[in-house]
């Protein structure tokens, strides 16, 4: 799992460096989460096993906590200019959608479509941003 997290981290960092505006960085963060090296069936299955292991293994739990905190922190940082104090709430929703789509993909025996998964998360994000604009 450490190898998977290393690849994931490198792709996230690369995506964030390439994008300059918060909107672009948010999209890059979400798309990298569902990129081809991160959203393959074997990797998705490893994530599912990792979550289960984290229930009983302290080392796995610590590693999972680090991943979750980094994802949340990155999301909040990029969301704050757009949604202000709602950033933690929106970040938690986006992180939950990412996890949920990974779970769905782990249980699906068909093709794992990262692009479609990223589009679903981006659609939810767009809805949150529209909600902010109404206020």
Predicted TM-score (pTM) of this structure: 0.88
**Residues 34-51, mean pLDDT to the nearest whole number:** 92
Tens of pLDDT, residue by residue over 52-98, are: 999 999 999 999 999 999 999 999 999 999 899 999 999 999 999 99
State residue 132's pLDDT score. Answer: 61
Exposed, middle or buried: residue 94 (CB in 10 Å: 0-12, 13-18, 19+)?
buried
Report the Cα 65 to chain-centroid distance in Å. 14
Closest by CA position to 121, among listed 57, 29, 15, 46: 29
**Residues 5-23, mean pLDDT to the nearest whole number:** 89
- Report residue 135's pLDDT band, with 50, 70 and 90 as the boundaries: low
Closest by CA position to 33, among listed 118, 123, 120, 119: 118
Q: Which domains does the chain have, with CATH numbers?
A: 2-134 (1.10.357.10)
**129: pLDDT strictly greater than 90:** no
Closest by CA position to 127, among listed 73, 96, 90: 90
- Where b means 16+ CB within 10 Å and e means fewer, 4-33 reads bbeebeebbeebbeebeeeeebbbbbbbbb
State residue 109's pLDDT score. Answer: 65
Taking the C-alpha atoms of residue 97 and residue 11, their distance in angstroms, rounded to an integer, is: 19
Report the Cα 16 to chain-centroid distance in Å. 13
């Amino acid at each position: 799992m450490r190898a998977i997290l290393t690849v994931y981290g490198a792709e996230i960092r690369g995506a964030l460096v390439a994008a300059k505006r918060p909107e672009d960085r948010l999209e890059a963060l979400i798309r990298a989460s569902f990129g081809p090296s991160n959203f393959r069936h074997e990797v998705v299955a490893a994530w599912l096993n990792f979550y289960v292991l984290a229930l009983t293994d302290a080392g796995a739990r610590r590693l999972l906590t680090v991943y979750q905190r980094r994802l949340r922190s990155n999301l909040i940082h990029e969301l704050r200019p757009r949604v202000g104090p709602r950033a933690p709430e929106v970040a938690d929703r986006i992180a939950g959608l990412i996890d949920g789509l990974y779970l769905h993909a782990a249980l699906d025996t068909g093709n794992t479509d990262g692009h479609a998964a990223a589009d679903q998360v981006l659609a939810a994000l767009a809805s949150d941003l529209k909600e902010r604009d109404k206020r």
